[in-house]
Amino acid sequence: MRQNEPEPEPGAVGRPGLEGRLKSFIEFDRVYKKIGEQEILRGVSLKVHEGDTLVVIGYSGAGKSVMLRHVLGLMKPDSGRVVVDGVDVAALPEKALAPTRRKIGMLFQNGALFDSMSVARNVAFPLQERGMLRSKEIDEKVEQSLELVGLAEHMKKMPVELSGGMRKRVALARAIISEPRCILYDEPTAGLDPVAADSIDHLIRRLKRKLGVTSLVVTHDMKSARFIADQIAMLRDGQIYFYGTPQALLASDDPVLKNFVDGKSGETS
């Protein structure tokens, strides 16, 4: 079943003539990806409009994280296009991806903080890599970013001294410090206690409001999805099964969607 699947907008992405909310920042155009013998993505087409938060839901192993990795060019599709701000990243070699990657911040599932660096150095890393040399300026920005995620007092700690939720928040501070136009979130609330998860959700909303960034969030946490999403897409069997607003998802009678939303496996004991 496919509900409200986004209508194709031929050539829309990156075309200067398209204004406002209709302008897509990210577009998946008939993307196919096979890993080993398994077909992970089977013709995924999806758009994320500029300034919107699109949440991709789906069962574990559905290929949600694989989709995210395509946006940054960390993975290449077997066929199809992945267009980010008008650039087909799938067609670019690794070395040519840097300008596009600098527009995007990514929160990895486990934070992917650098073990050998303190919290402050982890957060400062993107700025140092962009050649910001004045350490005072970097220090100020690090403090601001860590304050935004509520961890300013932990900047001297090493990642190993932090809890899972704190690591994610530090990773988020690192993702936003260079003021990206888009943030990718890979399971931002997975493995967190409900309070920490709620704190991350509010943070995502706050970032959208304050920075106006485009967000692509991958999760199977329905509470989180309902709270942060402008649009929700469900990935199933390598294809977009549903696309629409959180309200449309909740109102749907489709058994697959209902079971997913309600967290029901359909089994009896």
Partner 1 sequence: MSSFGRTFIALLELLGQVAALFGEALMDIARGRIRIRQTCRQILSIGAGSQSVVVVTGAFTGAVFTAQVYGIFKDLQVENASGGLVSLAMCRELGPVLVALMITGRVGAAIAAEIGTMKVTEQIDALRAMAVEPVEYLVVPRLVAMMISIPLLIAESIAFGILAAYLVGVVHYGIPEAAFMTHVNNYTDPADIYFGMIKGFFFGLIIVMVACQRGLTTENGAVGVGRSTTSAVVIASLMILISNFFLTMLLTPLFGFD
Contact residues for partner 1 (CB under 8 A)?
A: 69, 72, 74, 94-95, 97-99, 101-102, 104, 106, 108-110, 112-115, 125-126, 129
**Please, what is the minimum distance in Å from the beta carbon of residue 152 to partner 1?**
22
Identity of the residue, 102 or 223, whose beta carbon is nearer to partner 1 in the bound complex: 102
CA angle 53, 5, 252 (to 5 degrees): 85
**What is d(CA 224, CA 148) in angstroms, rounded to the nearest whole number?**
19
**Please, what is the minimum distance in Å from the beta carbon of residue 2 to partner 1?**
31
Helix (H) or strand (E) holding 172: helix 164-176
**Cα distances (angstroms) measured from residue 32 to each of 4, 22, 68, 218, 259:** 21, 25, 14, 18, 27
Identity of the residue, 101 or 226, whose beta carbon is nearer to partner 1 in the bound complex: 101
**What is d(CA 91, CA 79) in angstroms, rounded to the nearest whole number?**
10
Residue 163 phi, psi dihedral angles, 5° rounding: -80, 170
**Please, what is the minimum distance in Å from the beta carbon of residue 70 to partner 1?**
12
**Please, what is the minimum distance in Å from the beta carbon of residue 61 to partner 1?**
16
The residues, ordered by sequence, that sit 6+ positions from 198 with a Cβ below 8 Å of its Cβ are none
| Cβ 189 vs Cβ 109: under 8 Å | no
Identity of the residue, 23 or 64, whose beta carbon is nearer to partner 1 in the bound complex: 64
**Please, what is the minimum distance in Å from the beta carbon of residue 159 to partner 1?**
10
Rg (C-alpha) for the chain, rounded Å, is 19
Identity of the residue, 45 or 110, whose beta carbon is nearer to partner 1 in the bound complex: 110
**What is d(CA 89, CA 174) in angstroms, rounded to the nearest whole number?**
23
**Please, what is the minimum distance in Å from the beta carbon of residue 126 to partner 1?**
5
Nearest to 155 by CA among 172, 170, 140, 165: 170
Do strands 214-218 and 231-236 pair parallel, antiparallel, or not at all (unpaired)?
unpaired
Identity of the residue, 24 or 122, whose beta carbon is nearer to partner 1 in the bound complex: 122
Identity of the residue, 12 or 211, whose beta carbon is nearer to partner 1 in the bound complex: 211
**What is d(CA 40, CA 109) in angstroms, rounded to the nearest whole number?**
19
**Please, what is the minimum distance in Å from the beta carbon of residue 69 to partner 1?**
8
Identity of the residue, 112 or 256, whose beta carbon is nearer to partner 1 in the bound complex: 112
